[in-house]
Structure 1
Amino acid sequence: MAESAPKRLKTSSSNGTGPLIGTHNGHFHADEALAVHMLRMLPPYRDSPLVRTRDPKVLDTCHTVVDVGGEYDARRIRYDHHQRGFATTFPGRATKLSSAGLVFLHFGRAIVAQRLGGGVDEAAPEVDLLHRKLYEGFVEALDAHDNGIAVYDPEAVAAAGLEKRFGEGGFTLGAVVGRLNPNWNDPKPADPTDAQRAEDDRFMLASQRIGEEFERDLDYYAASWLPARAIVQQAFDKRGEFDPQGRVLVLEGQSVPWKDHLYGFEDGKPSVLYVLYPEKPEPGAKWRIQCVPESKDSFVSRKPLPEAWRGFRDEELDGIAGIPGCVFVHAAGFIGGNKTFDGAKEMAVKALQA
């Protein structure tokens, strides 16, 4: 486990400002933009000034340096990843870290514990869970982007003859930050000091932009995703009450984010095919039956609802399915609805037999 860097921090100035942070000037990227934002989320760095330079003498005056300097030394609070031989990764992951990953490795637990509040210790299991989740779901993408690591092995993709069906709109996290750099032909102030100030202003806008996205994810995982875990665990433990083979999971009371938790509880042994849940947390609410996808981001269901039901609604669907109270089944067969829990359960039973 990486040592918790915030415990070693001391504000080096006496005028109320935080430790001086240094990073490189010139074209900026998402990794150092996020690294700076994450540092400033913590009390010791909240009022920290920032200097953007490649001058070693200036960097030597900085308390903390990210993405420049050719040195990774947590004891000296130096977090660069460009030097020859650097190969540090997040525990259990293969992606080489960027400055964002390095800062998150050493400061992420403090950031998570702070957001959870209530005096939660950095060593608490829920902090470790969210630390890993945020890395895999957000920070790792920046590490890969900055280190030129593709999502899929390019050689394997080429060998399979796969091509993109459409462009992704340039809305990766890296692209969102990249667009905030000045264009090559934008007017540039003649005075070097003014030019650097203008560039720094753009960097701070980029740091705020990527930081807002990071904090949205952090808030979601801390305030919504984590509390849902216990609810999904309870439903997972009770799934045998609704199907002897455990293929139906019922979320009683209300729906919660369930996919990540379900895949984790299954531990690589897929069993659940359908998830039932009420549309609203109130008496008399309609119920949904949703197919479990093969993976979190997949549009392919483990077992879609019967083809004969797809695209039909209400009484017409009642007659086709032989189940009263049907509301709809999506044309793609991944979700449907019924007016009652018993009706949704019967849809699951018949779908399992199909």
Structure 2
Amino acid sequence: MSEPEAKRIKMADGTKAPVIGTHNGHFHADEALAVYLLRLLPQYANSSLIRTRDAEVLKTCDIVCDVGGVHDHDAKRYDHHQREFNAVFPGSATKLSSAGLVWMHYGKDIIASVTGLATSDANNDLLYNKLYADFIEAFDANDNGIPIYDPAALRSAGIEKRFSDKGFSMAGVVNRFNYAATEPRNAAKASVSADAPAAPKQKTQEEEDTRFQKASHFVGEQFVAELLDKAGSWLPAREVVKQAFADRAQYDAQGRIIVIPWKPEGVPWMEHLYNLEEENGAKGAVLYALFAESGEPDSKWRIRAVSLEPGSFENRKGLPEAWRGVRDEELSKVSGIPGAIFVHASGFIGGNASFDGALQMAKQSVDM
């Protein structure tokens, strides 16, 4: 794996496969991901890997990440450790690591390679920004020592961790690949007694490289799963919500009610709604969303109050106080709307036996 240039892998046509270079020694999540990202590109799919800090050996590599002290896209050098380095992803304030650098320069090509979306496609651009914000930025922040919250503010507020989350982060898992035993103790072939554990042996470069490859594969699998989920679920849902957003005036002249059509794969709609409002200069416009419980003609319907902001338990406008915690016939009597089933005690969601009933609940609620 850490081979000299003369031992490059030969392709079927007799040409030598490209070589990716990164540093040897202790490895981190950012270069593990950077190497995997590069290998998603057709030109590096069959690449070999050299892990070294020898400047002369690195010169023989076709592309180098996380070592070398240079960020030069034309030269295919992507290090971020130099003192003067301050590059960030467009729209972000987080300094890039090698993962972010590779993504910034090659992300759209990677999306095209994995999903088939052309780099000129507007949806490719959406995924390019979405994958950075939801996945890769955390790698950049971790490697550059940028916490998600201001530690001083947390201390000032007296907020303390309830438990250690190191084992739950991808950076923590990658770090474990650096030192954890490669097989369970009871499967080890060394003949040592249970009371006399074997002394740790010095890792060879080959073993270290094998560990790195496993770490790279681990983070890469998580990335591909994230990309395929966004391309196969998040992106189609946006189109559904975009159409529903455009059609909302037919249910309320002021566009305060949106109807989300039922899809067997589900429609994660709320994040898209926030984004579409922002893009159309209508932030906070939609108060309630209606959606069916199933695709059957006689499906029950839900009415959901839109949250004040993503992840918030506060609503832009909760369902009427008089309806909260009331069910079935009593709710129909209180609201004057047939088919009412329930309204949650907090007023964030309710249900009706029909679409017309749910729509009536929404129409009454916007004016109460």
Scaled to the shorter chain, the TM-score interval is: 0.7 to 0.9
3-state SS of 2:177 partner: coil
Aligned to 1:198, which of 179, 199, 207? 207
Question: For the structure 1 residues 124 and 246, does the alpha-carbon distance in structure 2 shift closer, same or farther, using more than 3 Å as the test?
Answer: same
Match of 1:263 in 2: 274
- The alignment status of 1:329 with 2:343, answered yes or no, reads yes
Give the structure-1-normalised TM-score: 0.85
Contact 1:25 1:52 in 2 (8 A): yes
3-state SS of 2:178 partner: coil
Residue correspondence of structure 1 range 64-143 to structure 2 within 5 A = 64-117=63-116, 120-143=117-140
3-state SS of 1:36 partner: helix
Residue correspondence of structure 1 range 21-32 to structure 2 within 5 A = 21-32=20-31
Match of 1:297 in 2: 311
Match of 2:38 in 1: 39
Of 78-87 and 165-174, deviating more is 165-174
3-state SS of 1:75 partner: coil
Residue correspondence of structure 1 range 153-192 to structure 2 within 5 A = 153-159=150-156, 161=157, 163-164=159-160, 166-167=162-163, 169-170=165-166, 171-183=168-180, 188-190=200-202, 192=203
- The alignment status of 1:221 with 2:230, answered yes or no, reads yes
How many residues are paired up? 337
Matched to 2:206, the amino acid is R
Match of 1:246 in 2: 255
3-state SS of 1:179 partner: helix
Question: For the structure 1 residues 277 and 52, does the alpha-carbon distance in structure 2 shift closer, same or farther, using more than 3 Å as the test?
Answer: same
Question: For the structure 1 residues 51 and 306, does the alpha-carbon distance in structure 2 shift closer, same or farther, using more than 3 Å as the test?
Answer: farther
1:108 to partner: Cα distance: 0.6
CA distance in 2 between counterparts of 1:344 and 1:179 reads: 52
Residue correspondence of structure 1 range 314-325 to structure 2 within 5 A = 314-315=328-329, 317-325=331-339
Of 51-60 and 33-42, deviating more is 51-60
1:316 to partner: Cα distance: 5.0
1:145 to partner: Cα distance: 1.3
CA distance in 2 between counterparts of 1:203 and 1:312 reads: 58
1:236 to partner: Cα distance: 1.0
1:167 to partner: Cα distance: 4.1
3-state SS of 1:22 partner: strand
3-state SS of 2:261 partner: coil
* Structure having the higher Rg: 2
CA distance in 2 between counterparts of 1:162 and 1:242 reads: 47
Of 30-39 and 326-335, deviating more is 326-335
Question: For the structure 1 residues 36 and 210, does the alpha-carbon distance in structure 2 shift closer, same or farther, using more than 3 Å as the test?
Answer: same
Contact 1:313 1:328 in 2 (8 A): yes
Contact 1:115 1:222 in 2 (8 A): no
CA distance in 1 between counterparts of 2:244 and 2:306 reads: 15
1:198 to partner: Cα distance: 2.6
Question: For the structure 1 residues 294 and 15, does the alpha-carbon distance in structure 2 shift closer, same or farther, using more than 3 Å as the test?
Answer: same
1:139 to partner: Cα distance: 0.8
Aligned to 2:143, which of 143, 146, 153? 146
1:143 to partner: Cα distance: 0.8
Contact 2:178 2:212 in 1 (8 A): yes
Match of 1:3 in 2: none
1:90 to partner: Cα distance: 1.0
CA distance in 1 between counterparts of 2:324 and 2:294 reads: 23
3-state SS of 2:302 partner: strand
CA distance in 1 between counterparts of 2:164 and 2:270 reads: 24
Matched to 1:329, the amino acid is V
1:97 to partner: Cα distance: 0.6
Question: For the structure 1 residues 126 and 202, does the alpha-carbon distance in structure 2 shift closer, same or farther, using more than 3 Å as the test?
Answer: same
1:13 to partner: Cα distance: 6.3
CA distance in 2 between counterparts of 1:306 and 1:179 reads: 52
Cα-Cα RMSD: 2.7
Question: For the structure 1 residues 332 and 168, does the alpha-carbon distance in structure 2 shift closer, same or farther, using more than 3 Å as the test?
Answer: farther
Match of 2:191 in 1: none
1:289 to partner: Cα distance: 1.6
3-state SS of 1:91 partner: coil
CA distance in 1 between counterparts of 2:348 and 2:165 reads: 26
Identity %: 52
3-state SS of 1:299 partner: coil
Aligned to 1:287, which of 286, 290, 301? 301
Contact 2:95 2:144 in 1 (8 A): yes
Structure 2 unaligned regions, length at least 5: 1-7, 182-196
Matched to 1:153, the amino acid is D
Contact 2:301 2:353 in 1 (8 A): yes
1:353 to partner: Cα distance: 3.8
Question: For the structure 1 residues 336 and 90, does the alpha-carbon distance in structure 2 shift closer, same or farther, using more than 3 Å as the test?
Answer: same
Of 177-186 and 80-89, deviating more is 177-186
3-state SS of 1:21 partner: strand
Structure 1 unaligned regions, length at least 5: 1-11
